[in-house]
Amino acid sequence: MMKSILSGIAIAVMLVLLIVALALKDKMNDFVSSSLKNQVSEEAKSEGQNLIDSLYNYTLNEGGYQLTFLEFGAEGCISCRKMKKVMEEVKSQYPKKVNVVFMNALKEESQDLMKMYGIAAIPTQILLNQSGKEYYRHSGYISFDDLSKEFK
């Protein structure tokens, strides 16, 4: 009898912790993200910003796009695979307006930008304006309809 009561209490506590964790998921992600950003040296930030400017600052490099959609993800992640369809739809609906860029979180060449942007979870979507400045961020899956509202 005592065992079943303890088991029930343990299950109830785990459920409460799970609900709290889900409710605070975005706040935890924001906290970890800002902590990661703060760990980046000034030199690395400067190098990262130079890279962003050279690739995605269309006012400086006279690129033809108005926005950049950076998708940080991985091939094995289920939500990331769902985002692949969203990326394809963005490419087809906004071919001249939005530059869609996939950054594989598992590749070494993506690590510096992940640190610079404080990517704490995948998938994470970051939208950059024409000057290469971040103006929108979302972690997790987002539908094409919801994401495209941010392109206006």
pTM (global) more than 0.85: no
| 32 is a domain residue | no
As a whole number of angstroms, the distance between CA 88 and CA 142 comes to 13
The full length of the chain comes to 152
Residue 41: pLDDT over 80: no
CATH of residue 101's domain is 3.40.30.10
Percent of the chain with pLDDT over 70: 88
| Residues 70, 103 contacting (CB under 8 angstroms) | yes
Give how many domains the chain has, as a whole number: 1
| 20 is a domain residue | no
Please say whether the dihedral angle defined by the alpha carbons of residues 87, 91, 94 and 98, taken in this order, is positive or negative: positive
